[in-house]
Structure 1
Amino acid sequence: MAETVASAPGRVTVYSITGCPHCVQAKASLGRLGVPVWDVDMGRHPELRVKVKELTGRSTVPQIFFNSVHVGGNDQLQKLTPEELARLVRLVKEEPVPADAPPIPENHSDVSEEPVEADEAAELSTILREMILKLFSEHLSADGKCVDYKAMSLSPVFERYCDLAVQLQRVELLSLSREEKLAFFINTYNALVIHGHLRLGAPTNMWQRYRFFNYVSYLIGGEVFTLQDIENGVLRGNRKGVAQLLRPFSKTDPRLQVALPDAEPLIHFALNCGAKGCPPIKTYTPQDIDSQLRTAAEAFLENDDACVVDSGKGEVRLSQIFKWYKADFGGTDEKLLNWVLEHMSESPKKSSLQSVVTGGKVRLSYLPYDWSTNSSH
């Protein structure tokens, strides 16, 4: 159970369970009201279930009370008018907790805000990713190529997304395993790109892109992480990015402890920068993350925007991604081509590449990158 720091004679009581997305959303919204919020975990305190059901007539969570006034679940909370919400907040700020207020556990010494544990962190990043993907798909053009970011930013679902993103500051990053870290940071990066587009608009030139990736950030586990920090600092094992003179994290930077021990080349096919030339977006989970990333690489390489083979001319043309991050794929043309070959699914294109590579002299060049935004405005 946890109470947010706020001084008022009354309280908001939330009955929840760990990992419930509706509970997380409700608590994020309540946390912005400036009133004490007592979170009672029904998983830890099953003895209260009967009483809560008597009070609410429901077995579901969350169940939310302002003093002794029962609001209902997350949907009911989100549907309150500003006037209704203001009245309830005023009640908690002005009236002490009444005798008939809903029960809290007798032992409530654990009143500090608890960190989000590893399994919850992965779940939180997945929920954020799925919310933004749902928003994304609802505002996608009929041909699936453009997004109406302006309409997205006006959606009430986006407001709830912003509430949830605040929870990232409570994530206990050092407890994440390699698989949890990959899923968490890939999902968070992809969501943050869209969030950045909604807040700042899409970057349209090189200078704007540089600023965007070095400026757009989330507070995660008490530290600020920009898009550059996530990609090059965490997921590439603290390697210099494109046009970067220094590594993202210095030796004394606390974020260095979060970085993967080495670059993970497969992340380049999972991160989406919002341009048309980026890999397709999806949500990643810690379970079998490596096979998910491998599938993303296969899908990317099937596309002629990523790899074109002309066996007659002995020519291979690859996405600029392979040029920018060549070090992650072995550092030489030969190692790069072998990496690509190993990560392609069985297809005529793979057979052509195989014959070109085994034939000796390969002419390797890079395809133009489509930096045009996928915004419809």
Structure 2
Amino acid sequence: MAGDGPGGGAPLEALAQQQQQSPPPAQQQQQEGKEPKVAVITTLGCKYCKATKAALQGAGIAFTEYDLGQQLEVLSQVKSATGQSTVPQVFVGGRLLGGASDVVPLAESGQLAALLAASQAPPLPAELQALLPRAAAAAKAAQQQAEAAEGDPQCAQHRALAAAMRAALGSPGRTFALSAAADWLSKSQGVPTDGAAAALAQLQSAQLLTLPDAPATAVSQRLLATQPRAAALLVADAPAPTQWSQPLNGRFEWFGGARPAAEVAASLRGSILNLYDKHLTDGGKKVDYARLKADPAWQEFVTATAELQKVDLAQLASREERMAFFINIYNALVVHALVVFCPGEGTLGRLRWFDNISYLIGGTRWSSNDVEHGVLRGNAPSPASLFSLLGKPQWAGRTFKAGDQRAALAIQPVDPRIHFALNCGAASCPPIKLYSPETLEFGLDAAARAFCASEVQVDGAAGELELSMILKWYGPDFGSRRQLLDFLAEHLPEGPAGELRQLLATRPPVLALARPSKATKPASKAEVQLNSTLAPMVVLAGINPLANFLQGQADYFSTLGLPQWLVQWGHPGNMAVVLVAMGCYGSGYLGWRIRLSDDAGEVATAQDLHPKLAIGMTAFFALGALGGSMSTLMQGKDLWSSSHFTTGIIGLVLLGLQGMLSAFFDDDPNARGLHAYFGTAILALFVIHAALGLQLGLSLSA
């Protein structure tokens, strides 16, 4: 794609080795007094744009930059002229040269400099030569207006006063009496005694001062006279969240009303994009989160997030308004949590991270999962839920349960393109990162095209379609398998799209082979989703907290008067069915058919069923371990003295390791062979486990 050429953006390891400060949008890089021969269309917060500019600067090549991120009409005209909707787009000699994957190698090899030496034509094509400078001028005027608003002298005075008060009275988490603040204003700042209350009220209205015991109470002369010992707290000293479960914007209560919800979300997303762009380093390879957190603008962003507490979500009347609002909020929330907490460690930790990080919005706590699955995915279950992993998401519970008023905000029908707006794992960037009802359609379309161009590979000769794991996790959101393939054909670049349509017409269905996303660390949604090969360990981890209650549960069930045959043989009978149906057939037989069968259809069916049945077997074995343990305890036997119990625990651990092996299939061809033989050995262990269980049951009958 030309936003990045077919195949996407340049690998980050091939980019410029040192990031230099980029110029303001549309500022011309002069070289020997001549107009630049290169023009670059970019957008805020795009690492591939940053990488392209770094490569050009490293090669000493002057360029003119046009940031068109929020100019929908101009972006539409650019797409009409170039056929591309992603960025960066680099122009030389009146034609589109390409994106990061095309331009960075040319700049680093010196080929671009040679090309420029022979070029005398203006960089932009004729239809864009007047359009982009006008757009740049409009963007510059808007930027100056925004900077002027931010630089309001009164706001600056309030911040300076709060900083001075903090130096005198404040410290992290420390409150002080209103009277102490009034005395300090009079003695140190020369504020008249009768004017202290008004000065404190101004700080409160500016969200710089709060009354933690009565946050909705306005500071007044009357309050100062009647409650001089009332506790006051500078917002900068409000305790920061220390646990994932604490809302990130709950440090203090927002004073007064809030702006319209859409305006608040857009403002927050714009602030975080500016910070993200400012602290992209090393040629766009990474974000310097330490410097971002130390930036004064970060503290202003953190304070501003509290306004979400008071927004009225009922104002989001249309589908487009709700989608734009929650996409902006999700992306701001994830970056906010990354800066404050860093991502969770390990698969289970990452799942918990997404389920816990949250904002208070409209008086209610919203986790990132609530936003994504509850609203944007139409109140669907998480793809990490057990039944979703087993291929039966319809059996899983909804994100918003019955009676949860948030369910009324769920987007129906689901637009699957939201997954590409929440995750910029593609090798080029959609030009729109700040969504509004007006830019939503253009932005989602561009995001889908950018993702498909780099994350979907079509092999017409082999009749195979190689997909990102995102399309596997969220497959149901795209409809049936055929509907997913039609979606891909619509959004792929022209060449691969033609190959796919030909396959669909001549050799359906296309064999879909899932592969991990190429998303980069640490902010990509793709990284922190559950890899289904690790599901066995997740199941075990989820069951472990119940172990402490086993004896208590056994004591309870012992009081129910259950038939002895059920207590003694119910568990063995159920586990025998699981071992034969899911173990021997699903894991053993189907696993070996994948390796040995020459029938492509049989292999495809086995590839689809094998992991689902293997995960199901592990889940039922883990649950069965609970039932078997209670059965043993109810009959007065010690667990660890039983060889049956010991072999079961060992088998469950080995199943977890077996699942992890599949993560290495793409990197090590020997891993598949090891997986097959190791799995067969585990099944043999469970046959021994079953025999020991039969022996245990018979001994209890004696």
TM-score normalized with structure 2 length: 0.39
User: How far is the alpha carbon of 1:323 from its aligned partner?
Assistant: 0.9
Cα drift, residue 197 of structure 1: 0.6
Is residue 327 from structure 1 mapped to residue 476 from structure 2 by the alignment? yes
Equivalent AA in structure 2 for residue 167 of structure 1? E
Which of 410, 418, 422 does residue 271 from structure 1 map onto?
422
Following superposition, the deviation at residue 370 of structure 1 comes to 4.2
Matching residue of 1:374: 522
SS in structure 1 of the partner of residue 286 of structure 2: coil
Q: How does 1:306-317 map to 2 (within 5 A)?
A: 306-317=455-466
Q: Which moved more, 1:355-364 or 1:280-289?
A: 280-289
CA distance in structure 2 between the aligned counterparts of 1:263 and 1:291, rounded to whole angstroms? 17
SS of the residue aligned with 1:248? coil
Contact 2:428 2:450 in 1 (8 A): no
Matching residue within 224, 230, 234 for 2:375: 234
Q: Deviations over 1:92-143 (max 9, x none)?
A: 9984448999xx9xxxxxx9966545xx321221111111111111221233
Deviation, 1:190, is: 0.5
**Contact 1:239/1:247, CA 8 A, preserved across alignment:** yes
Per mean C-alpha deviation after superposition, the further-off stretch among 166-175 and 147-156 is 147-156
Moved more, 142-151 or 123-132: 142-151
SS in 2 for 1:73: helix
- Among 156, 181, 187, the alignment partner of 1:75 is 156
Taking the aligned partners of 1:371 and 1:291, their CA distance within structure 2 comes to 22
Paired position in structure 2 for 1:25:
none
State the partner residue of 1:292.
Answer: 443
Q: Which string of whole-angstrom CA distances, capped at 9 and with x for unpartnered residues, describes residues 240-264 of structure 1? A: 1112342110120121122223322
Give 1:190's aligned residue: 331
The amino acid of 2:383's aligned partner reads V
Q: CA deviation at 1:319?
A: 1.2
In structure 1, give the amino acid aligned to 2:376. Answer: L
Q: Which has the higher contact order (CA 8 A, sep 6+)?
A: 1
Q: Which residue of 1 aligns with 2:501?
A: 354
Quote the RMSD (CA, aligned, Å).
3.2
Q: What is the CA-CA distance between 1:342 and the residue it aligns to?
A: 2.2
1:53 corresponds to: none
Is the CA contact 2:427–2:450 (under 8 Å) kept in the aligned structure 1? no
The 1:99/1:151 distance shift into structure 2, 3 A limit, reads closer
CA distance in 1, matches of 2:299, 2:275: 11
Q: Which moved more, 1:85-94 or 1:185-194?
A: 85-94
Deviations 1:31-52 (A, max 9, x none): xxxxxxxxxxxxxxxxxxxxxx
Unaligned runs of 5+ in 1: 1-59, 65-71, 105-110
Q: What does residue range 83-232 of structure 1 map to in structure 2 within 5 Å?
A: 83-84=164-165, 90-91=181-182, 95-97=193-195, 115-116=257-258, 120-176=260-316, 177-232=318-373
Does the aligned pair in 1 maintain the 2:276–2:287 contact within 8 Å? yes
Greater CA deviation, 360-369 or 180-189?
A: 360-369
Q: Is the 8 A contact 1:62 1:73 kept in 2?
A: no
Corresponding residue to 1:363 among 511, 514, 518 = 511
Residue in 2 that maps onto 1:261: 412
Deviations 1:276-300 (A, max 9, x none): 8997681111214122211211111
Q: Which runs of 5+ in 2 are unaligned?
A: 1-147, 170-177, 187-192, 203-217, 219-253, 386-395, 524-702
Label 1:63 to 1:91 Cα distance change in 2 as closer, same or farther (>3 A): farther
Quote the Cα distance in structure 1 between the aligned partners of 2:476 and 2:516: 20
What amino acid does structure 1 have at the position aligned with 2:402? K
The answer for the alignment partner of 1:41 in structure 2 is: none
Cα 1:311–1:158 change in 2 (3 A) is same
Q: Distance in 2 between matches of 1:259 and 1:126?
A: 20
- Cα deviation for residue 80 of structure 1 reads 4.6
Q: Which has the larger displacement, 216-225 or 91-100?
A: 91-100
Residue 348 to residue 190, structure 1, CA distance change in 2 (3 Å):
same
Q: Output the CA distance in 1 between the equivalents of 2:469 and 2:299.
A: 36
Deviation at residue 368 of structure 1 after TM alignment: 1.5
Give the number of the structure whose alpha-carbon radius of gyration is greater.
2
Distance of aligned partners of 1:154 and 1:100 in 2 relative to their CA distance in 1, 3 Å threshold: closer
84 and 99 in structure 1: CA distance in 2 versus 1, 3 angstrom threshold: closer
d(CA) in 1 for partners of 2:498, 2:294: 48
- Asked if the contact 1:174–1:257 (Cα under 8 Å) also holds between the matched residues in 2, the reply is no
> Matches of 1:289 and 1:297 in 2, distance apart?
12
The question of whether the paired residues in 1 share the 8 Å contact of 2:466 and 2:512 is answered with yes
Q: Percent identity?
A: 35
More helix by share: 2
Structure 1 distance, partners of 2:256, 2:343, is 36
Query: 1:338: which partner in 2?
Result: 486
CA distance in 2, matches of 1:220, 1:100: 30
Label 1:370 to 1:79 Cα distance change in 2 as closer, same or farther (>3 A).
farther
The answer (yes or no) to whether the contact 1:276–1:374 under 8 Å persists in 2 is no
Which amino acid is the alignment partner of residue 241 of structure 1? S
Task: Report the Cα distance in structure 2 between the residues aligned to 1:113 and 1:201, rounded to whole angstroms.
Answer: 29
Distance 1:62 1:324 in 2: 42
Q: Which residue of 1 aligns with 2:631?
A: none
Change (3 A) 1:91 1:350: same
> CA 1:278 to 1:209, structure 2 compared with 1: closer, same or farther past 3 Å?
farther
> Equivalents in 2 of 1:218, 1:208: separation in Å?
19
For residues 165 and 318 of structure 1, the distance between their equivalents in structure 2, rounded to whole angstroms, comes to 37
1:302–1:270 Cα change, 3 Å: same
Deviation of the 1:82 alpha carbon: 2.4
Equivalent pair of 2:488/2:497 in contact (CA under 8 Å): no
Which deviates more, 72-81 or 292-301? 72-81
Paired residue secondary structure (2:457): strand
Distance 1:115 1:233, change over 3 A: farther
CA–CA distance in structure 1, aligned partners of residues 197 and 342 of structure 2: 51
CA distance in 1, matches of 2:369, 2:198: 52
